[in-house]
Structure 1
Amino acid sequence: MEALYFLLVVIGVIVAYSAFNYFYQRRFLKTLTEEEFKAGYRKAQLIDVREPNEFDAGHILGARNIPASQLKMRMKEIRPDKPVYLYCQSGARSARAAQMLHKKGYQELSHLQGGFKKWSGKIKAK
């Protein structure tokens, strides 16, 4: 019986943490549909936060590859005074990358709903 209570407490903590993260990110990160993303990404800095091998397999035309794993070291490559459009494969890494950028003072942050796997626009592959 104690194991069941422990398991319920752990699940409750995980759900509470996920809900907190979701609502916290909504304050500073806009989640854009593909149409909204297409309408604004040419006026913004388009950053693909996937790893280089994923980027080389195919990426949105005009995107720069700054993997989430290298973001702290390469943050100076992103201008804080211009909008930043982020995307990854599904949306999770771009949300974490946006959180890092927000902590460093970046304001206009948006990411692609569903990530690259939902993208139907122009792509480039090596």
Structure 2
Amino acid sequence: MSNIPEITADELQEALDSNKEFTVIDVREDEEVEQGVIPTANHIPLGHIPEAVGNLDPRKEYIMVCRSGRRSMNASEFLKENGFEQVHNLKGGMLAWNGELVF
């Protein structure tokens, strides 16, 4: 069992609505992202996370997203192992997201 906290789609929507300071990272592949992303999300495919980690600030808060929550959990665990303390996974991924999408 992972020790990564999960955030629900509703909780994420509330955080976006209140302009809470965090970064959403979408780890899906390019063709998946073409179907829409959560507003403000940064797209870093899962396979690119190890090389991108050096460009991320370990003091900031991150919410990781994928299609169902499995790949983003892997990315969350990788960040945690590399010194990131404020990492959350979107429970159920984009399948659970009913909010706005940008293309």
- TM-score, normalising length from structure 1? 0.74
Kindly indicate which of the two structures has a greater share of residues assigned to helix: 1
Specify the structure having the higher radius of gyration (Cα).
Answer: 1
1:64-89 deviation line (CA, Å, top 9, x unaligned): 00111110011123211111011100
Q: How many residue pairs get matched?
A: 100
- Alpha-carbon shift at residue 33 of structure 1 (Å): 1.3
Residue 77 (structure 1) aligned with residue 55 (structure 2): yes
Runs of 4+ in 1 over 4 A off after TM superposition: none
Tell me the residue number matched to 2:66: 88
1:38 equivalent among 8, 13, 33: 13
Q: Which residue matches 2:85?
A: 107
What RMSD in Å do the two structures reach over aligned CA positions?
1.2
Q: Structure 2 CA distance, aligned partners of 1:34 and 1:100?
A: 22
Q: What is the TM-score with the length of structure 2 in the denominator? A: 0.90
| Equivalences for residues 107-126 of structure 1 within 5 A | 107-125=85-103
Residue identity over aligned pairs, in percent, reads: 28
Shift of 1:53: 1.6
Higher normalized contact order (CA 8 Å, seq sep 6+, divided by chain length) = 2
